[in-house]
Amino acid sequence: MSRLSIYDEASPQAPLSVHRDHADIASQLARIGVRFEQWATSESIAPGASPEQVIAAYRADIDRLMEEKGYQAVDVVSLTPGHPDRATLRQKFLNEHTHSEDEVRFFVAGSGQFTLHVAGKVYDVLCEQGDLIGVPDGARHWFDMSESPYFVAIRLFTNKEGWVAQFTGDDIALRFPRMVPSAAAQPPA
């Protein structure tokens, strides 16, 4: 189940509020300029589906966002607990950074945790299957996929070269909870 925990930046021990209702999460995040939607598809996506099949299943929503926001590229990224570079890939995203373009991810399967640092607060968003998050350009944030990552995500980019981060040098991400994968977000056996 998707979740938003909001913290005071100085108090990582206890959230100020926790939200589990999707509409409530979307409303809270909209206040800080973050897009949060749920997408559905009428097509069945089988485990191991090709990136082309995944994109085709969500083509209408992808095209809507590309037209609305001017995104130029789309791809699919997939990571499983057995990936040999999972620890290195996880580490790449764990420190606070910004982008010069929106960071847009739709979770086709699995889960990931986006954490945003905005105006003295920390917004910790657990995204699960069916969730789309759009982090606006310039927003300070980090991403955790857990020690046992599992997700398939569609990514949209303005920059055709893809993901480019500018790290802030702030160690705030070290003080806040890391992602613990839920049983529901694990790969099928």
Domain locations in the chain as residue ranges? 3-42+51-160
Contacts of 46 by beta carbon, 8 Å cutoff, 6+ apart: none
Please tell me the predicted confidence (pLDDT) of residue 188: 60
Is 144 exposed, middle or buried, given 0-12, 13-18 or 19+ CB atoms closer than 10 A? Answer: buried
Rg (CA), the chain: 16
Please tell me the predicted confidence (pLDDT) of residue 189: 54
Q: Dump pLDDT digits (tens) for 23-43.
A: 999 999 999 999 999 998 777
Contact (Cβ atoms closer than 8 angstroms) between residue 106 and residue 60: no
Task: Compute the distance between CA of residue 59 and CA of residue 48 in angstroms, rounded to an integer.
Answer: 18
Q: What is the CATH number of domain 3-42+51-160?
A: 2.60.120.10
Calculate the CA 34 to chain-centre distance. Answer: 11
Question: In this structure, what are the phi and psi dihedrals at residue 133, rounded to the nearest 5 degrees?
Answer: -125, 135
Task: Compute the distance between CA of residue 91 and CA of residue 66 in angstroms, rounded to an integer.
Answer: 29
Contact (Cβ atoms closer than 8 angstroms) between residue 109 and residue 54: no
Please tell me the predicted confidence (pLDDT) of residue 48: 80
Q: Dump pLDDT digits (tens) for 71-122.
A: 999 999 999 999 999 999 999 999 999 999 999 999 999 999 999 999 999 9
From the list 61, 64, 57, 62, the residue with the least C-alpha distance to 109 is 57
What mean pLDDT value characterizes the chain? Answer: 92
User: How much of the chain, in percent, has pLDDT values that exceed 70?
Assistant: 94
